[in-house]
Structure 1
């Protein structure tokens, strides 16, 4: 049922299916947190979901994009039908938060990134004071 609703939502809009799916998932966050009794702020959960979506931002192959959208629709349907356990969602949200914090760490100090071996395309070496 939820998959059909998500499919109808995707068909109504003319924007990217990934963006439409993202918006639909974000709208369902408070409901999911209530259903599974997860003590997390909806804004924090939304940031974790955003990080999970951004992890696949560089995927350009249309077949892979369609597969990822289909998998996300199935995950959402299973979540809304309560076929998952609380630990599954907590693991998913923790992964998203770890991605978010690791992305924040990379952007803090270019010199520390250099010492850690992390390459960043838009490094701001002008800000380093010797």
Structure 2
């Protein structure tokens, strides 16, 4: 599935992000909340599988794992950003 999107993410990184998303909700014990989280996850998976999400939508899941872009002039200059 990952190969169908033009994203700079490896299969290993995608698997780790999926595990991380599960661990974020490991503390939830209320059955109703668990059901809602399962439904939300299923909807997101369906959107990705049916290509209703674009590349940028898929990349939002990896936003915290991507290095921040430089904001000041010197950092941009050193990295060759215009």
Length-normalised TM-score, structure 1: 0.47
In structure 2, stretches of 5+ residues that fail to align are 67-82
Tell me the number of residue pairs that the alignment of Structure 1 and Structure 2 aligns.
Answer: 66
* Bigger relative contact order, structure 1 or 2 (CA pairs below 8 A, ≥6 apart): 2
Q: Deviations over 1:72-115 (max 9, x none)?
A: 001100110000111111011234x48xxxxxxxxxxxxxxxxx
1:1-130 → structure 2 map (5 Å cutoff): 31=1, 33-95=2-64, 97=65
Kindly indicate whether the alpha-carbon contact (under 8 Å) linking 1:59 and 1:65 is maintained by their aligned counterparts in 2. Answer: yes
- Cα displacement (A) at 1:42: 0.4
Q: Which runs of 4+ in 1 moved over 4 A?
A: none
- Cα displacement (A) at 1:39: 2.1
CA RMSD of aligned residues (A): 1.5
User: Highest Rg: 1 or 2?
Assistant: 1
In structure 1, stretches of 5+ residues that fail to align are 1-30, 99-130
